[in-house]
Structure 1
Amino acid sequence: MSINFRFDLRHIKAFMAVAESLHFKKAADSLFITQPALSRLIKGLEEAVGTELLARTTRQVALTEAGRLFLAECKEGLRVLERGVHLAQAASQGDIGHISIAYNDFSINGVLPDIIERFKEKYPNISIELTHMPSHEQHRALQDCSIDAGFMIGPLNAPGIETLSCAVEELLVVLPLRHPLAGRSSLRLEDLKNEKFILGADNSWKAFRSRFLKNCQQAGFTPNIVQEATTSTGIFGLVAANMGISVYTECVYKFTRRDIHLIPLEGIEHRVETVAAWNSAFISPSFAHFIRHLQDEPLPA
């Protein structure tokens, strides 16, 4: 049922002052108003509520049963209001809030977990929503502000988009354990021209694939791609099954798989940079904290 309140916080404070002191003069003095003004406030409140809240005689003031129950609810209501003020102030300062972050495979398997963990230690009341999203899709999501930040393959040069480099990683060759090249200490791209490749699917690994294919062309061959996978785990599984080889970044060392072999890829300028990107058109107070956190984070060696 909707109630049309005909009283405000002044009436509530006046009633609580009288209810707690049970003395009109003391209550008026505590509120810095006159007794007649206080009496008018109490009368107006009782008329609005529709019942007597205080029983008055010439010698004493007492709470009616209705007044006792109303007082308890007034106290609870003020506590809720005070909490609302506190939450609003905290939100305006960014200490409470929500951040949406998109990530690709390289960032979630690399630098991003440590960044998130340390940020949550500083700001436990800021919730973070993480969404897997290929780098090229993150570009669009940043433009329409559907995410606060994206962790993607860089560099990225787009109007209104700011970026910060978070990691730069060398490439490794991922081989089955019993592959003939597994005993080498390093490999060059030319050594792989006759190999069967397993790469991430084009719809989700477009940025990485386009750069890697360009490197292969510069090395004088087009890779024979025999299998595709949508996830890093899928790529490693296919390599372990001896379906082919792949190329991945140094963050693969964080995986504990014992059924693949990793060899540094030399003689190639292609390094995978992970950047954090955001649209400067809208930065919430909570996300401003995240940006400062990123700027304070040391770039991994």
Structure 2
Amino acid sequence: MGSQIRFDLRHLRAFIAVAESLHFKKASEALFITQPALSRLIKSLEDEVGAELFSRTTRQVTLSEAGRLFLAECQQAFTHIQRGVQLAQRAARGDIGRISIAYNDFSINSALPHLLEVFKEQQPAVTIDLTYMPSHVQVEALRNGEIDVGFLFGPLHEDGIDTLSLSTERTVVLLPKKHKLAHRRSIRMEDLRDEKFIIGSESGWKSFRSFVFDLCLKSGYIPQVVQEATSSTGILSLVAANMGISLYSESVRNFIRKDIAIVPVDSTHAAIETVAAWSAAYQSPSLRLFQHTMAQELARLRLAPQGAEPAA
């Protein structure tokens, strides 16, 4: 058991203010306290921590290595405290009647629309806030309590986040109609070794980019990326313009384009999973209702006769 902590939030706020501005006068003004009072707080904190957090000269203030490490943990602690306040406030008011949902490109063209339709029929009084958000951004938003549930690229294994697998789709190759591979029944990843790839940008498609690169690396090559796009529409347009080929989930068949060929990838590794994810720390009443709808629909689809129409 470590020694008892004898500093409080006042000390941490003072430390963060100085660490971010690296200027005692500016930090004291931002905190509305005198500079000597701020110096006393920092000295008291350093005594309790047992390390110098700043290197001071008459002209400059810099973070020591101990201070740099301490700052990262303090910032994370304040994030958790703020999130705890938000969750407590939501729990106190019941938080029923509204649910915030984030989605990525694949889910909005696959499982999510059907689930939203069923949920609205069952719970017409619950307001749904929908936000487009890349998969990797959703994870942080779930941790910070900014969204109730995310629909994102799976599988996802993150501490503090629970998931439910919603759908698994084949990966397909998008090709210009006149491409030499466009009339194949399936395409091996090895067949794409010399192709020019169009891929989603790092900012919006980070998770799927990793998946695509992994598929190519398993086939012995690094994809030659010649164009990047920020949206599904951009990817489709670049393929149609004969700028290259791309990979996508089979949900792309919901886009009707006569100038693009869609051919399944022949690979045991080429399955695209969509999962629903939420924080394990707190589920609002509205989220629990939505979870029930998801479980109900998944059970119905499993019991549906083979060949029955899947969730849209």
Distance 1:268 1:281 in 2: 35
Output the amino acid matched with 1:139: V
Distance 2:297 2:251 in 1: 18
Question: 1:8: which partner in 2?
Answer: none
* SS of residue matched to 2:265: strand
Deviation per residue, 1:82-128 (Å, 9 max, x gap): xxxxxxxxx95x8x511000111000111111111110011111010
Question: 1:133: which partner in 2?
Answer: 133
Residue correspondence of structure 1 range 161-200 to structure 2 within 5 A:
161-200=161-200
Distance 2:222 2:280 in 1: 40
Question: 2:228: which partner in 1?
Answer: 228
Residue correspondence of structure 1 range 84-233 to structure 2 within 5 A:
97-233=97-233
Deviation per residue, 1:121-172 (Å, 9 max, x gap): 1111101011111111111011111100000011111222111011101111
How far the C-alpha of 1:205 sits from its partner, in A, is: 0.5
How far the C-alpha of 1:294 sits from its partner, in A, is: 0.9
* SS of residue matched to 1:262: strand
Unpaired runs of 5+ residues, structure 2, are 1-92, 302-309
Deviation per residue, 1:29-48 (Å, 9 max, x gap): xxxxxxxxxxxxxxxxxxxx
Number of aligned positions between the proteins: 209
How far the C-alpha of 1:202 sits from its partner, in A, is: 1.1
Question: 1:284: which partner in 2?
Answer: 284
Deviation per residue, 1:216-268 (Å, 9 max, x gap): 11111111110011111110011001110001111011111111001111024
Deviation per residue, 1:27-69 (Å, 9 max, x gap): xxxxxxxxxxxxxxxxxxxxxxxxxxxxxxxxxxxxxxxxxxx
Question: 2:247: which partner in 1?
Answer: 247
Q: Is 1:189–1:268's contact at 8 Å kept on the other side of the alignment?
A: no
* SS of residue matched to 1:297: helix
Output the amino acid matched with 1:275: V
How does the TM-score come out when normalised to structure 2? 0.65
Unpaired runs of 5+ residues, structure 1, are 1-90
Q: Is 1:215–1:268's contact at 8 Å kept on the other side of the alignment?
A: no
Output the amino acid matched with 2:286: S
Residue correspondence of structure 1 range 38-57 to structure 2 within 5 A:
none
How far the C-alpha of 1:281 sits from its partner, in A, is: 1.5
Question: 2:274: which partner in 1?
Answer: 274
Distance 1:268 1:233 in 2: 27
**Paired-residue identity, %:** 52
Rg (Cα) greater in structure? 1
Output the amino acid matched with 1:257: R
